[in-house]
A and B are shown apart, each in its own frame.
Chain A
């Protein structure tokens, strides 16, 4: 195409279409039905990284001063005391050890979860209404 002044070239024949635009990769499409892509059995889910059995306020290993509030139970995570209220904490909120940060509902009981760490909420890691497991990270916290 560089020898010519053409910037675009298209050819259409039965069962075959070719369109080239200078500077772009050729796109070849065929009107023949394509075979469905070969699906291999999905690989087994990767093993979750072994969780460190440390207290919720233990340092995590990424940036210094960063720790995580982890779920102490199995259940459903709720950000607010009730569907109509504001969340217990937003990103940026300052927290102390006994600040209630969320509710985890287990077997119809709403359990208030305390931060057990002093600092600032950096990020909320789970969605409202999401099922959570023991040890799952709920909030990223900057200590201090």
Chain B
């Protein structure tokens, strides 16, 4: 029986976990860095232990100090949140060997899905469509061209050691392929010290649609629907919504089945997300699995009514899921806007500092997940997300208008935020019509005068 949980994270997700634990009657221990002394979740948790200096590498990433804190405070379980150590298989293993329950999947699932090549191969064997590509790095240009022709242009040449959108070149035919191949290898060598590249089919203007998975430790796996996360800037999500305005009921069913198959192939337990790219024709391809709770989990919570953090804790407790796939209903439409302390007019430059007046919107269908408050100083050491605004209603139209209304009320003085940007997107015809793909943000920024989102 889990009675005390150590929260190995910070900011809004740490607060979210404290709230779920309180409602379940579970004691909480917050571990925090010296920069987070004034953090809201540290004040609200039952106990708190300082684990290091401001830098993540000196605190939230220090598995040794976190486990030490868990031992001296005698906790039963650790919730890793997202980011930091949440997908660190070694950390999950350390928890397992110390008899502390890691609230998430088994370490071997994290390891398996953390290697992109192994993940793709694992789900491919289970019959889940993957992005066609070379099986691993290509050795010679001749081999690469052969694969490119087999896959069919356009193709994308990716650095094996790359990531986060870096080290990628696109080729549309044999002629440009030769050039792009060499450029890609040289760039990879210079940027990552490793010139190895692999080839994948390039899906033009795809939608990023992911499925939420929940699995218990008794073999039951369900999906809780999709989230459309196509509105991204530099591969960072800005807005997520569910249901996706693009999916038909049939496509949702097929993708949902594929997501469950992928999770089963990974021997998965607890909450996770299967990410797909979907092209204009409705073909979908597995790209990766996130073996953790995600930032945008509230979108699914408001659509289905299921509390994902509580479910994570219940699964970790060994309980069976008390509902079946057929019980999962998609009752609402929900849209989440990630509020960042950034200045959209200055190329999204981070805007840390002290918040003066803070007033969060409210009313019917409005949820704010944020750890900030009037007088709070945003530390400069972590990411710039200061909160999430989730608006939901019976239809997409209601959710859109509600988001616009709530964003209009949202006051955060003293720092720059992306609130005006989100407002402008809520009013943008392309987004309103549900036509946003991953190419949307670049197009929006190009055609929208800066003073409309400041």
Instruction: Out of B44, B49, B68, name the residue touching A106 (CB < 8 Å).
Output: B68
Instruction: Out of B42, B44, B53, B68, name the residue touching A75 (CB < 8 Å).
Output: B68
Segment among A15-23, A43-51, A82-90, A91-99 that sits at the interface with chain B:
A43-51
A50 CA to B69 CA, complexed, in Å: 20
Contact status A135-B34, CB under 8 Å? yes
Interface residues on A, range: 10 to 19
Question: Counting CB contacts under 8 A, is A126 at the interface?
Answer: no
- CB neighbours (8 Å) of B68 from chain A are 73-75, 106-107
Contact status A133-B64, CB under 8 Å? no
Residue of A nearest to B33 (CB): A134
Contact status B50-A136, CB under 8 Å? yes
- CB neighbours (8 Å) of A47 from chain B are 37-38, 42-43
Contact status B65-A106, CB under 8 Å? yes
Contact status A51-B50, CB under 8 Å? yes
Within 8 A of A (CB), among B57-83: 59, 64-69, 71-73
| CB within 8 Å for A51 and B37 given contacts A44-B43, A106-B65 | yes
- CB neighbours (8 Å) of A133 from chain B are 49-51, 69
A68 CA to B53 CA, complexed, in Å: 17
Within 8 A of B (CB), among A45-88: 45, 47-48, 50-51, 53, 73-76
Contact status B72-A44, CB under 8 Å? no
In this complex, how many residues of chain B approach chain A with their Cβ under 8 Å: the count is: 25
A76 CA to B98 CA, complexed, in Å: 17
- CB neighbours (8 Å) of B361 from chain A are none
A3 CA to B42 CA, complexed, in Å: 62
Question: Counting CB contacts under 8 A, is B350 at the interface?
Answer: no
| CB within 8 Å for A53 and B54 given contacts A48-B37, A107-B67, A135-B34 | yes
Contact status A74-B49, CB under 8 Å? yes
| CB within 8 Å for A50 and B71 given contacts A44-B43, A136-B50 | no
Within 8 A of A (CB), among B31-46: 31, 34, 37-38, 42-44
Question: Counting CB contacts under 8 A, is B52 at the interface?
Answer: yes
- CB neighbours (8 Å) of B51 from chain A are 74, 133-134
Instruction: Out of A48, A51, A75, name the residue touching B72 (CB < 8 Å).
Output: A75
A53 CA to B98 CA, complexed, in Å: 31
A136 CA to B50 CA, complexed, in Å: 8
Residue of A nearest to B74 (CB): A131
Residue of B nearest to A106 (CB): B68
Closest-CB distance, A107 to chain B (whole angstroms): 5
Instruction: Out of A50, A73, A76, A131, name the residue touching B65 (CB < 8 Å).
Output: A73
A74 CA to B65 CA, complexed, in Å: 5
A83 CA to B187 CA, complexed, in Å: 60
Contact status B53-A50, CB under 8 Å? no
Closest-CB distance, A57 to chain B (whole angstroms): 16
Contact with A along B367-380 (1 / 0, CB 8 A): 00000000000000
| CB within 8 Å for A53 and B53 given contacts A74-B69, A74-B72, A75-B72 | yes
| CB within 8 Å for A106 and B64 given contacts A74-B49, A131-B72 | yes
Contact with B along A105-144 (1 / 0, CB 8 A): 0110000000000000000000000010111100000000
Contact with A along B19-32 (1 / 0, CB 8 A): 00000000000010
Contact with A along B326-364 (1 / 0, CB 8 A): 000000000000000000000000000000000000000
Q: List residues of A whose CB falls within 8 A of some B CB.
A: 44-45, 47-48, 50-51, 53, 73-76, 106-107, 131, 133-136
Report, nearest first, the 4 A-B pairs whose CB atoms are least far apart.
Answer: A131-B72, A106-B68, A74-B68, A133-B50
